[in-house]
Amino acid sequence: ILNTGHAGVLLVERRGSYPLIDLRILKTSAQQGEVESGTRRKVKRLLSFQRYCHASRLLRGLVPHTPGSLHLLDDDYLGQAAHMLSKVGTWNFDIFLFDRLTNGNSLVTLMCHLFNVYGLIHHFQLDMVKLHRFLGMVQEDYHSQNPYHNAVHAADVTQAMYCYLKEPKLAEQLSPLDVFLGLMAAAAHDVDHPGVNQPFLIKTRHHLASLYQNTSVLESHHWRSTVGMLRESGLLSHLPADISQDMEQQLGSLILATDISRQNEFLLTFREHLDNQDLDLQLASHRHFILQIALKCADVCNPCRVWELSRQWSERVCEEFYRQGDLERKFDLEISPLCNQQADSVPAIQIGFISYIVEPLFEEWHRFTEPSPLSQTMMGHLHKNKARWSRLRYAHTPSETETTSLYKLILQQSLNSNLVCL
């Protein structure tokens, strides 16, 4: 039933984020009696491709593929996709269009291209078959039925990461290993994301929550899944064990940095370095820190994109929040902050997100990269988009105080209590 590609059932079995909800735990007053038989099917349907088609595809303005004619267009599509790749370093790059032109293979196509651009295959003596196998697994293990946390988000973050790696301040200092890890972390940073956040996994007593002791649950899972796929594909198996283990650790450190509840920790350290002007990019540890910051920026850069792209991401992320809210409502759980479609409007959520998460981070990134035309462009979009959401908010029922106070709360929270996991 689930849209899992040709791997079908096997893929569902490999995914660690299944089953999403243990129905034995969630017997609630409204559900009792039908839980064992009927609800299992209903939940499956709720998360299924059908619902994805109805709610999300329409939202995204996509039309279902017509199987008969598609293959005739493939060459033309791929020609256009190849043309787009020649502009992969531009900030206006339309990843949605690229994903359609590559027939849903944006992540694999983009990564192969960037590995070629940087000569990483030659440098690390990578086996092309293994590389394809690894990237294919990563792309497949993203849930295409998630409106936001899917392989297109991963491709988008990878494309942004590439733009940041090209920043003059950074580019000359980076080693092939830095570039390799930066791109790999970007591509895999949300792999097998279940489309719900950490508090949801904790309160439904998901096995991942206890496995990772309620701390950076999703990020830990993204990392360990990546390590599993690296080993399964044998991509790094020709390297000495200590080298490949170090790569796995560094990937973990990068992916774990995307835990938004650790935002303050990173922001304060970054600010301190900039104030003291003591960043030395000759040092591997300092370059690693900047890669962490770059990945964090790439992960939340949606509001820094041109409005037409930015708006689509906003609608998708809110749709994913609302779906979690729908699930919580259905199972008589408390509806999580930002997940109530009636109370939390898209503009209100976006304004909070921009004010408390995105703006503070990109102000420092701007300071670090200065003088950078890209940072200037991003700050321009950021301010314009925020103003646009502000105007739109007054067309909706405002819930400003609730939403912004939530983001304040997130920033005050320490490690083990994150509320939103992007």
396 is an active site residue: no
CB of 153 to Zn ion, least distance (A): 6
Distance set, CA 133 to CA 16, 126, 162, 184, 216 (Å):
19, 12, 22, 14, 28
Q: Binding of Zn ion at residue 190 (CB under 5 A)?
A: yes
- Range in contact with Zn ion (rule: CB under 5 A) among 172-180, 190-198, 321-329, 389-397: 190-198
Give how many residues touch Zn ion by CB under 5 A: 2
- Range in contact with Zn ion (rule: CB under 5 A) among 96-104, 159-167, 298-306, 399-407: 298-306
**Does the annotation place 150 within a ligand binding site?**
yes
The Cα 355–Cα 161 span in angstroms is 22
**Does the annotation place 83 within a ligand binding site?**
no
CB of 333 to Zn ion, least distance (A): 24
CB of 178 to Zn ion, least distance (A): 20
- Range in contact with Zn ion (rule: CB under 5 A) among 184-192, 279-287, 290-298, 375-383: 184-192
The b/e string for 320-342 (b: 16+ C-beta within 10 A; e otherwise) is bbbbbbbbbebbebebbbbbbbe
The Cα 328–Cα 322 span in angstroms is 10
Tokens describing residue 316: 């998708």
Around Cβ 285, how many Cβ atoms within 10 Å? 7
* Minimal CB distance residue for Zn ion: 190
Do residues 158 and 184 lie in contact, with contact meaning Cβ atoms separated by under 8 Å? no
**Does the annotation place 246 within a ligand binding site?**
no
- Range in contact with Zn ion (rule: CB under 5 A) among 3-11, 56-64, 124-132, 297-305: 297-305
For the chain, report the end-to-end CA distance as a whole number of angstroms: 27
**Does the annotation place 81 within a ligand binding site?**
no
CB of 300 to Zn ion, least distance (A): 8
**Does the annotation place 249 within a ligand binding site?**
no
Residues within window 327-356 making contact with Zn ion, judged by CB under 5 A: none
CB of 177 to Zn ion, least distance (A): 23
Q: Which of 143, 149, 206, 381 is catalytic?
A: 149
**Does the annotation place 346 within a ligand binding site?**
no
The b/e string for 142-170 (b: 16+ C-beta within 10 A; e otherwise) is bbbbbbbbbbbbbbbbbbbbbbbbebebb
Angle between helices 400-412 and 346-353 (to 10 degrees): 30
Q: Binding of Zn ion at residue 299 (CB under 5 A)?
A: yes
Tokens describing residue 376: 């200037």
Contact residues: Zn ion, CB under 5 A: 190, 299
Q: Which residues are catalytic?
A: 149
